[in-house]
Amino acid sequence: MKTRIIISFLLVAFFSGCVVYSFYPLYTEKDLFPNNILTGTWIDDDGTEWKFEHVHKGSKIPTNIDSTSYFLQLKYKDETIYRESKFRVHVVKLGGIYFLDFYLEDFMGDDIELESLHIIPVHTFAKLVFTENQLHINWFDQNWLEDLIKENRIRIHHENNGDFILLTAKPAELQKFVAKYVNSEEAFKDGMEAILTRK
């Protein structure tokens, strides 16, 4: 699925339901660890630039770097206009596999309009497979989750308004869910994905 659609989804929580989204993060502070897995600038097949850099606690000096957390800046061209989005991203390891937790950091911008007041930032999480020069990011498929819930094959705290499912489980419950399906091909088969190459 095109990166532009991924960005649009992450900017507007009430999208058509291609990924699993959650009110709570996939991690707690004790799950985080220092790493440089994502650090740098990456490009996807559509030419969108994904720039990951560590967060600073306070002023931007080396001793204030939080190497357990990232800012993600996405830059892409929409027709003739360059657009930008910012996310907070954390890496967590569950069931021997790395996962990314995305949270929209800046969604209102400078101009607060009526539609901005109806956007609620949520967490989404995706499986990460990486090499030195490539990141393969694959989100869980919401339709797959919906089928599990309808068929009573899984019990997890959630809300369903008929248009989309929002997980309301807290991190410990989310982690059990992810660990259970980490190797399920169906869980990711129709989910969104992004393949990034180091710039």
Give the Cα separation of 50 and 87 in Å (integer): 10
DSSP-assigned beta bridge partners for residue 54: 70
**Distance of alpha carbon 40 from alpha carbon 26, whole angstroms:** 23
Residue 166 has pLDDT above 70, yes or no: yes
* DSSP-derived pairing of the beta strands 21-22 and 165-167: parallel
Rg (CA), the chain: 17
Helix (H/G/I), strand (E/B), else coil: 61: coil
User: Is the alpha carbon torsion for 159, 194, 129, 53 positive or negative?
Assistant: negative
The tokens describing 70, both together, are: 């990232």
- Where do we find the tokens 């291609």? 18
pTM: 0.85
- The tally of domains found in the chain comes to 1
* Of 33, 1, 25, 8, nearest in space to 138 by CA: 1
78-82, 114-118, 120-124, range with greatest mean pLDDT: 120-124
The Cα–Cα gap between 107 and 126 comes to 20
Sign of the CA dihedral running 64, 41, 73, 82: positive
pLDDT for res 16: 43
* pLDDT mean over 168-197: 94
Q: Which comes out higher in pLDDT, residue 35 or 20?
A: 35
What confidence tens digit (pLDDT) does each residue in 36-86 have?
999 999 999 888 899 999 998 888 888 899 999 999 998 877 666 677 888
Residues 119-141, mean pLDDT to the nearest whole number: 92
Q: How many CB atoms lie under 10 A from the CB of residue 11?
A: 17
Paired tokens of 18: 């291609």
Task: Please work out, in degrees rounded to the nearest 5, the angle formed at the alpha carbon of residue 192 by the alpha carbons of 189 and 197.
Answer: 110
Helix (H) or strand (E) holding 8: helix 3-11
**In Å, how far from its chain's centre is CA 61?**
27
The parent domain of residue 156 ranges over 3-198
- In sequence order, the 6+-apart residues with CB closer than 8 A to the CB of 101 are 25, 26, 27, 89, 90, 91, 92, 123, 124, 125
